Chain A
Amino acid sequence: GESVGLHLPTLSVQEGDNSIINCAYSNSASDYFIWYKQESGKGPQFIIDIRSNMDKRQGQRVTVLLNKTVKHLSLQIAATQPGDSAVYFCAEMAGNDYKLSFGAGTTVTVRA
């Protein structure tokens, strides 16, 4: 399953399939990006980060891709599991700042 366009609030994916969550950012000065996962009733949980000098970074079952030319970020989750159901936020930080700016989030629902 994939969220298309700039941002889609919800994504429904079959268990075992790969998920792709997309995010557009607006600040050209942003040089550090983080994906967070937020489950109901909990705070955002760090998933993976990437700096602007990289195009791709891989973690356990997750990959983040950064396209600075079009200011686009994506999170790929391999073999999506029921425990991956949550809201996913991309967040950006500019080089001279300490504040994170969050997008609106994408709700991922995994179908059994």
Chain B
Amino acid sequence: GAGVSQSPRYKVAKRGQDVALRCDPISGHVSLFWYQQALGQGPEFLTYFQNEAQLDKSGLPSDRFFAERPEGSVSTLKIQRTQQEDSAVYLCASSLTFRDSGYTFGSGTRLTVV
């Protein structure tokens, strides 16, 4: 596609509920990143995929967070037993060669845990 697509745009979850956030990167982009952006803050790195391989998950806040990209294209970020502190915008980005033009970000999924 022309850009990075994320769905849903908004998600309200009750505390304790599991959620799944989807990212469709730009076609052909090898690298895929997930970032978390709290209100009024800059994005914070969560995890990085190169094709289907998750090469870095050092930014995932807890073992309740899980990401996958099984076929090297679409990625899903799953949060189990959501808590209020998980409320944030979750951004997905993809790149062909990130040192040429950074990443292309999607519009994000705003997760609100009530």
Contacts and interface: CB of A to CB of B under 8 A. Distances in A.
Contacts of B45: 99-101
Chain B interface main SS type: mixed
* Size bracket, chain B contacts: 20 to 34
Given A93-B99, A99-B56, A45 B105 contact: yes
A102 B42 contact: yes
Given A93-B99, A98-B98, A44 B105 contact: yes
* Size bracket, chain A contacts: 20 to 34
A43 B102 contact: no
Interface in A37-62: 41-46, 49
Interface string B87-114: 0000101000011011111111000000
A103 B107 contact: no
A44 B43 contact: yes
Contact of B101 (A43, A49, A98, A103): A49
A36 B102 contact: yes
B103 A100 contact: yes
A27 to B, nearest CB: 14
B41 interface: yes
Interface string A55-99: 000000000000000000000000000000000010101000011
Contacts of B106: 43
A103 B104 contact: no
Interface of A: 32, 34, 36, 41-46, 49, 89, 91, 93, 98-105
